Each structure stands twice: as C-alpha cells, then as structure tokens.
Structure 1
Amino acid sequence: MRVMVLVKATEDSERGLLPTAEAMAEMGRFNDALSAAGILIDADGLKPSSHGKRIAFAGTDRTVIDGPFPATRELVAGFWLWEVADIAEAVAWVKRCPNPMPGPSEIEIRPVYTMADFQ
C-alpha cells in the first residue's frame, strides 16, 4: 500500500527556521534506512506558506490567495511517499522517525487511493 506521510508545520517551520546540521544528519540516516528497506519513494521539505499560493475554486471562477496561511498546525511542512505492506508498518516506521521539528510536532499518515478503490 502506498501512503503519504505528512510532517505538520509548526510556528518554527512557518518562520523558516531551518533544522540544525545534527537534525539533518539524523533525518538523513532515517531516510537512508527507509531507502534500504525499499519503502521510500520520495521525500522533501516545503518552504513556509508565506512562499505559497492557494487557488480557490467556485464554479468557473478562480481566486488566487497569497500566503502565509492561517492555522499553522493544519499546514504541511514536508512529506514522504512510502510503499508499505499496511498502515501498521507505516506507523512503526514513523515511531522510529526522529522528531522533524525542534519542538513538539505531529506526523500524519494518509493512504493513497489506487485505481482499485474506484472499481
């Protein structure tokens, strides 16, 4: 099963606070372990929402909204795309993950739809 693993934003990540060299090295080791296990498909960090845009849809109308966006805890600061046997395996891997932020943080796991889900 394919899952998107979402690192939720924090006030620090929205301020553009970059991880320390030590934190980057620790996360690099975790990503290497994911890769060695054949789980990692893709991963990246996202710039703060102040660099982003949202497009609101209403019928045929489109409205561009400039960042930053409110509700920091609902924003995404980074992601992984993994191929795992099941959601329990994804949870086990996230539990091994170093804290992606300098303070308290959350990681969300969401299964990705497959074509079989639509049949």
Structure 2
Amino acid sequence: MLVMRDSAEAYEASQHVDFAEIIAAMGAYNEALEAAGVLVASEGLSDPSESVVIDFSSADRVATDGPYGEVHELFNGFWVIETATKEEAVAWGKRCPLGPGSKLEVRRFGDASDLELGDD
C-alpha cells in the first residue's frame, strides 16, 4: 500500500500549481500503474475537517469532529498495488507526482503467515 501523507507545507505548495496540472499528473501516474498491471485500488480522501475521530481511551467511547490531535501530517489518499518485491513497490512510490511537504509510506498488507504463533 502506498499511503499519501501531506503536511501544511505540501498544501501550501499545491496552491501555486494549476489544479488541472495536478489532476493530469496523478492521472498519468494511475494510468502507468494500471498499464503495468500493479494497481489494485486507489482512492483520495475528503478534507480532514469532515472527519470524526473515535477515542477508545475509556469505556465511554468519545467521538469528536475534525482531525485527531495536533496534526503535522494528514493521510490524504492511498494506492493498493501488487508487486513482486518491496523494492518494486518503492520504485513505484518514487514515481508518484507528489511535491515538497508530501511523504509516501510504502507498507505491506499482512497475511496469514504474520499471525502464526509458532509451535507451543
């Protein structure tokens, strides 16, 4: 999974780029993922101000509006890709047309082997 995380710096930088240019670059990236046969799914997320956070710190679970805590980076979208190796996933991540203040986390989905507890 490629997890897009943007900061205030990334948001500010994006304000100086034509939105149609951003959409075209992302579209070309998505098309390259599709053409290579590695794209499984991708989605962008709504603005964090629309979110609700549920806190499990107590028995009475509390739901609050807006992003959680002090926010330095926000999870803004993701791609699920299927590659043969972590290195290939990283290579695809490096091709993503993100700019300054953005980060892309490459993270593997767990599978049944991750849950094996061993012989006891």
TM-score range relative to shorter protein: 0.7 to 0.9
Q: What runs of 5+ residues in structure 2 fail to find an aligned partner?
A: none
> Residues 19 and 110 of structure 1: is their aligned pair in 2 closer, same or farther, counting only changes over 3 Å?
farther
1:106 to 98, 103, 108: 103
Cα offsets for 1:48-68 (capped at 9, x unmatched): 211101111135431102103
Task: Compare the two structures and name the one with the higher strand fraction.
Answer: 1
Unaligned runs of 5+ in 1: none
Separation of aligned partners in 2, 1:71 and 1:13 = 13
**CA RMSD of the aligned region, Å?**
2.2
- Aligned counterparts of 2:18 and 2:42: Cα–Cα separation in 1: 16
Query: Taking structure 1 as reference, are residues 115 and 19 closer, same or farther at Cα in structure 2, changes over 3 Å only?
Result: farther
| 1:25 corresponds to | 24
The percentage of aligned residue pairs carrying the same residue is 39
* Mapped partners of 2:75, 2:46: distance in 1: 9
1:117 maps to amino acid: D
Determine helix, strand or coil for the equivalent of 1:44: strand
Please give the secondary structure, in 1, of the residue aligned with 2:46. coil
TM-score scaled by structure 1? 0.81
Whether 1:8 and 2:2 are equivalent positions in the alignment is no
1:71 matched to 2:71? The reply is: yes
Q: How far is the alpha carbon of 1:94 from its aligned partner?
A: 1.2
